[in-house]
């Protein structure tokens, strides 16, 4: 009787390394050279593709052109038209500060090193 195949996330949540190793058809010592060759022939090389992201300038401007940011730009303009200059300036400053803060957070997050799979076990 075949057993139900669980997703890797479900197995990892159970924190059962033996079951995970069984599901991946490997052992604590790793794969044999023959098994590596067979899997690479079947699945291709185990290589992560490098994806080039958007430029920092594009990311920077996106923080000031999102739907919420555009609404704030318009609200500030309406405040100026209504002769409420202080309110217009305050709204635009909030928008600028929010855009700068969002960009800085995204920039810092992009500098973080991704976790290696080896570190997860």
* Tens digit of each residue's pLDDT (9 = 90 or more) over 6-45: 666 665 665 577 777 778 888 888 888 888 888 889 988 8
pLDDT in tens, 65-120: 999 999 999 999 999 999 999 999 999 999 999 999 999 998 888 776 555 555 44
> What is the per-residue pLDDT for 49?
76
- CA distance linking residue 89 with residue 73, whole number of Å: 10
Exposed, middle or buried, 42 (CB in 10 Å: 0-12/13-18/19+)? exposed
Q: State the chain's mean pLDDT as an integer.
A: 82
């Amino acid at each position: 009787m075949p057993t139900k195949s669980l997703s890797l996330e479900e197995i990892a949540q159970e924190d059962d390394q033996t079951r995970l190793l069984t599901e991946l058809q490997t052992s604590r010592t790793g794969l044999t050279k023959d098994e590596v060759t067979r899997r690479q022939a079947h699945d291709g090389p185990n290589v992560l593709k490098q994806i080039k992201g958007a430029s920092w300038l594009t990311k920077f401007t996106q923080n000031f052109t999102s739907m919420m940011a555009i609404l704030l730009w318009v609200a500030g303009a309406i405040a100026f038209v209504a002769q409420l200059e202080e309110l217009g300036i305050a709204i635009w400053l909030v928008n600028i500060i929010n855009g700068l803060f969002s960009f800085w957070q995204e920039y810092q997050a992009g500098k973080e090193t991704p976790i290696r799979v080896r570190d997860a076990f």
